[in-house]
Amino acid sequence: MAGGDDKRKDIHSAGIPVLCRACEARHKGVCGALTEDQLVRLSRSTTRKAVSKETPLTSAGEDVTQFSNILGGVVKLSKLLPDGRQQIVGLQFAPDFIGRPFSEQSDLTTEAATTLRICSFPKSALEKMIEEAPDLEHRLHNQALRELDEARDWLLSLGRRSAREKLASFLCLIADHIDPEGSEDTNGIHSAQFELPLKRTDIADFLGLTPETVSRRLTEMRKEGLVEVTQNRYIRIPDIDALRDATSSDG
Amino acid sequence: MAGGDDKRKDIHSAGIPVLCRACEARHKGVCGALTEDQLVRLSRSTTRKAVSKETPLTSAGEDVTQFSNILGGVVKLSKLLPDGRQQIVGLQFAPDFIGRPFSEQSDLTTEAATTLRICSFPKSALEKMIEEAPDLEHRLHNQALRELDEARDWLLSLGRRSAREKLASFLCLIADHIDPEGSEDTNGIHSAQFELPLKRTDIADFLGLTPETVSRRLTEMRKEGLVEVTQNRYIRIPDIDALRDATSSDG
DNA sequence: CGGATCTTTGACCACTCTCAAGTGAAGTGG
DNA sequence: CCACTTCACTTGAGAGTGGTCAAAGATCCG
């Protein structure tokens, strides 16, 4: 979107609020369940904002009054043990919805992994919408089921994969989210490249490892030509199927 | 059922199908969202059955046409790596709902961990009910959110706890489900006892360990008096708070 | 350029796994 | 009722993967 003078045009907008027009959340996210009229009403209590990386969105134990849609960037969800050990239990990408409907409070910490663009609205506004748009709950339900599938996939990785296999799985996961198309060369080999949204300690917290092992296994895979790393953060995977094979010992 | 008026308080029970009257799923489970009339209709396509332990309910990749409510017993959900490594990604107890609504097919295997009593009905019957009873989807949504919370708690355990801590967490989890009250002695010490629904290899598959380490850590805790074990399967936890402390290194 | 932060590397250690044998309980058939 | 099999669990010895601690390189950013 061009940006600039959105607010002025808003007055004359055909029906869909300007802010929502190019928004992924309206197409693939939860807002797709809303009618024009509902979008207009919701957008009155909506604020778009940029969040800089490492900013906590919600902390464990704190009451949540705002929900958000991710417009761009990556959010990490993590849990803490009383002695400080940390585990990242989920990553979310645009146009995911952040927040737990109907909940007391969860012991989950939500934090911007990268700089983030989000669209926030009060919990109450969403809950009101749910009452009049049952399809909205359906979409939220589906997102919950999708997250459940993802969490269970990750349980398999954490419980049963070696450090190397975990790292390979992680890189595939990120590639699938950030560069889902990839590119195909003349031999039919699929490659992918992207900027890593997480630093090594985060990757370690996601994989249930230490940063040292992440680093060691990564250089190992770099030496084998499975991945190319530039400036720590820029990853190229020359052959993503080869990397997928490294995801479990039998292939 | 006896002709008398044992449960007089339930004034509306006149129309409730006999099978549903004493069913936990009607109170705490998803069926609670249904009206008398809907219960009657659903119960026409419903079958109650006993399932003996180790029986697969659904296998990975297979199309699911039946959903069920658990009336009694424990169900394990597991995932497999291509080379055969296995991870149990969830346990379900009465009156949980089994099945994934709206899904293609999941790569999840569902299996009776203990002998089981379930109430099954065709997927289509449930989906029809969802259309007319929005509260039903709400209940399913809530169960999905609860399972998501549980899966994420378990991610923390798998990623960050030691074998000993995992085992302690596991025992607390089972105790909370099977003997939630426990008993309290004169000193205010809470104890619990139950029959383990899983054998050692299952516990290992749940904790991301080998059966040998499960056994070793368990004898260790037995020697310390944290747990008492009879005939491999019968567990008594003399002081459940002490066990909870063993759940992470900092108290 | 200088300092902070992040990442890599090395040496050593510990925990869990692997492989193997041994014990115990439950069920089968003579 | 008792050998005999089977299955589940336990125990031991040794190996390997990942963790810990420490230091040195990179990278980022003012």
Q: How far is B37 from chain A (nearest CA, A)?
A: 22
Look-up of token digits 């609020």: A17
Answer with the one of B107, B125, B157 that is the final residue of a domain: B157
Q: Show residues of chain A in contact with B99, CB under 8 Å.
A: none
Residue B2 resides in a domain = no
Same domain, B193 and B131: no
pLDDT at B45: 92
* Rg of chain A, C-alpha, whole Å: 20
Residue A191 resides in a domain = yes
Host domain of residue A117: 47-157
Please state the φ and ψ torsions of residue B177, each to the nearest 5 degrees. -85, -40
Please state the φ and ψ torsions of residue B35, each to the nearest 5 degrees. -80, 170
Residue A198 CA and nucleotide D15 C1' are separated, in Å, by 34
Same domain, A149 and A173: no
Please report the DSSP string for B189-230 in residue order.
-EEEEEE-SS-HHHHHHHHTS-HHHHHHHHHHHHHTTS-EEE
> Amino acid identity, residue A53?
K
Which residue of chain B comes nearest to A86, CA vs CA? B160
Residue A197 resides in a domain = yes
Residue B1 resides in a domain = no
Low-confidence ranges of chain A (pLDDT < 70): 1-14, 104-105, 250-251
3-state SS track over A48-93:
EEEECCCCEEECCCCCCCEEEEEEECEEEEEEECCCCCEEEEEEEE
Residue A27 resides in a domain = no
Q: Which of B50, B79, B47, B83 is nearest to B65 (CA)?
A: B47
- Exposure string of A208-238, with b = 16+ CB inside 10 Å and e = fewer, is bbeeebbeebbeebeeeebbeeeeeeebebb
Same domain, B209 and B129: no
pLDDT tens figures, A138-178: 999 999 999 999 999 999 999 999 999 999 999 999 999 99
CA distances from A168 to A74, A87, A207, A214, A240 (A): 19, 18, 11, 11, 10
CB under 7 Å from strand D? A 162-164, 208-210, 212-213, 217, 231-233; B 199-201, 211-212, 214-216, 218-219, 229, 232-233
Same domain, B90 and B41: yes
Residue A133 CA and nucleotide C25 C1' are separated, in Å, by 59
Distance CA A208, CA B157 (A): 9
The tally of domains found in chain B comes to 2
Q: Show residues of chain B in contact with A87, CB under 8 Å.
A: 155-156, 159-160
* Rg of chain B, C-alpha, whole Å: 20
pLDDT at B14: 62
Same domain, B206 and B185: yes
Same domain, A167 and A148: no
Report the SS3 class of residue B38: helix
CA distances from A94 to A75, B9, B121 (A): 9, 51, 37
Residue A241 resides in a domain = yes
Answer with the one of B157, B175, B198 that is the final residue of a domain: B157
Same domain, A151 and A179: no
CA distances from B13 to B8, B27, B136 (A): 9, 13, 20
Q: Show residues of chain A in contact with B81, CB under 8 Å.
A: 156, 160-161, 248, 250
Same domain, B19 and B89: yes
CA of A199: nearest nucleotide by C1' is C6
Low-confidence ranges of chain B (pLDDT < 70): 1-14, 250-251
By the 10 Å C-beta count (0-12 exposed, 13-18 middle, 19+ buried), A110 is classed as buried
Q: Which two tokens stand for residue B96?
A: 């949980």
Q: Is B147 in Cβ contact with A147 (below 8 Å)?
A: no
Report the SS3 class of residue B118: strand
Nucleotides of C under 7 A from a protein CB: 6-11, 15-20, 25-26
Please state the φ and ψ torsions of residue A155, each to the nearest 5 degrees. -60, -40
pLDDT at A1: 43
Residue B231 CA and nucleotide C24 C1' are separated, in Å, by 10
CATH value at residue B123: 2.60.120.10
CATH value at residue B233: 1.10.10.10
Same domain, B99 and B148: yes
Same domain, A56 and A75: yes
Distance CA B202, CA B78 (A): 10
Answer with the one of B136, B157, B178 that is the final residue of a domain: B157
Same domain, A97 and A174: no
Same domain, A151 and A53: yes
CA of B215: nearest nucleotide by C1' is D10
Distance CA A79, CA A76 (A): 10
Distance CA A56, CA A77 (A): 10
Q: Which of B159, B241, B158 is nearest to B207 (CA)?
A: B158
Q: Show residues of chain A in contact with B151, CB under 8 Å.
A: 148, 151-152, 155
Q: SS3 helix, strand, coil % of chain B, rounded to 5? A: 40, 25, 35
The CB density around residue A22, as the number of other CB atoms within 10 Å, is 11
Residue A70 resides in a domain = yes
Residue B250 resides in a domain = no
